[in-house]
Amino acid sequence: KIKACIFDLDGVIVDTAVYHYQAWKRLANQLGFDFTEHDNEQLKGVSRVRSLEIILAIGGVTKAEAEREELATLKNTWYVDMIGKMTPDEILPGAKEFLIACRDAGLKTALGSASKNSMMILDKVGITDLFDAIVDGNKVSAAKPDPEVFIKGAAELGVEPSECVVFEDAIAGVEAGKNGGMKVVGIGQPEVLTKADIVLTGLDKMTLDLLDTL
Ligand code: BG6
Ligand code: MG
């Protein structure tokens, strides 16, 4: 019996991928190479530090650890400037409605995100209080596909992993949920999220009835 839903943030609740992309592209351009929207797909669900490593590899650029840290911080200041201007109308279709439906039905809700900026985003779009637990990049040490973020979410909610459904748009995130012994609803394309139990185009397609069929 499903007792809780755990949601990824970027790409499931809000579409922040575009802001990540703009900030990384600005950094790449400053370093003298381009970074395309196609390249950006590789960064979904990936940590800030790992994202930078991937971008430097794309540009064929090598940087020492100290400078990598500076570059990641610079990108983040640009990103934070953009998400600081987010408004509630940037919540993806159906996300807020499904969170409310879960809580009305007595299900627990948690956030399970790799982002260290999740609190600011939730605050800006005004849905912080719809989560019973928030586990993000500040609380975990192992990145998705390691299940740590979702296992911690289940523990904070006081439920078993087998009683949780995870909602994820990234391949690594879907794998993290499955590695944690949870049901996973992929948000995106079935051809991409092959390990998910079901794949939907968005939370606007999700219903409470679907939960118990997983
Ligand atoms: C994930 C995003 O949710 O968070 C990644 O999909 C991002 O693109 C990662 O790199 C870390 O985010 P932040 O906000 O801590 O840089
Ligand atoms: Mg995501």
Give me the mean pLDDT over the 97-112 stretch.
98
What pLDDT shows up at residue 41?
A: 80
- DSSP letters, 120-180, are HHHHHHT-GGG-SEEE-TTT-SS-TTSTHHHHHHHHHHT--GGGEEEEESSHHHHHHHHHT
Q: Are 17 and 11 in contact (CB under 8 A)?
A: yes
Give DSSP secondary structure letters for 78-136.
HHHHHHTT--GGGBPTTHHHHHHHHHHTT-EEEEE-S-S-HHHHHHHHT-GGG-SEEE-
| Mean residue pLDDT across the chain | 96
Rounded to two decimals, the ipTM of the complex is: 0.98
What confidence category does residue 14 fall into, taking pLDDT thresholds of 50, 70 and 90? Answer: very high
- Contacts with 56 (C-beta within 8 Å, 6 or more apart), sequence order: 31, 62, 63, 68
At 69, list the tokens. 């840290």
Q: Is 136 annotated as a binding residue?
A: no
123 is in an annotated binding site: no
Q: Is the shortest distance between the CB of 45 and ligand 1 below 6 Å? A: yes
pLDDT at site 37: 87
The reported pLDDT for the residue numbered 88 is 98
Q: Kindly state the tokens that stand for 18.
A: 């575009």
Determine if residue 108 is labeled as part of a ligand binding site: no
The response to whether residue 211 sits with its C-beta less than 6 Å from ligand 1 reads no
Residue pLDDT, tens place only, 149-187: 999 999 999 999 999 999 999 999 999 999 999 999 999
CA 164 to chain centre: 17
Residue 212 has what pLDDT? 84
- Given the CA of residue 169, which atom of ligand 1 is nearest to it? 6
How far is the centre of ligand 2, averaged over its atoms, from the C-alpha of 14 (Å)? 9
Q: Give the nearest ligand 1 atom to 17 CA.
A: 8
In this predicted structure, what is the pLDDT of residue 186? 98
8 A C-beta contact, residue 188 and residue 205: no
Q: Which ligand is nearest to the CA of 121?
A: 1
pLDDT at residue 38 is higher than 90: no
| Model confidence pLDDT, tens digit, residues 40-75 | 888 888 899 999 999 999 999 999 999 999 999 999
Q: Is the pLDDT score of 120 beyond 90?
A: yes
Q: pLDDT tens digits for 129-149? A: 999 999 999 999 999 999 999
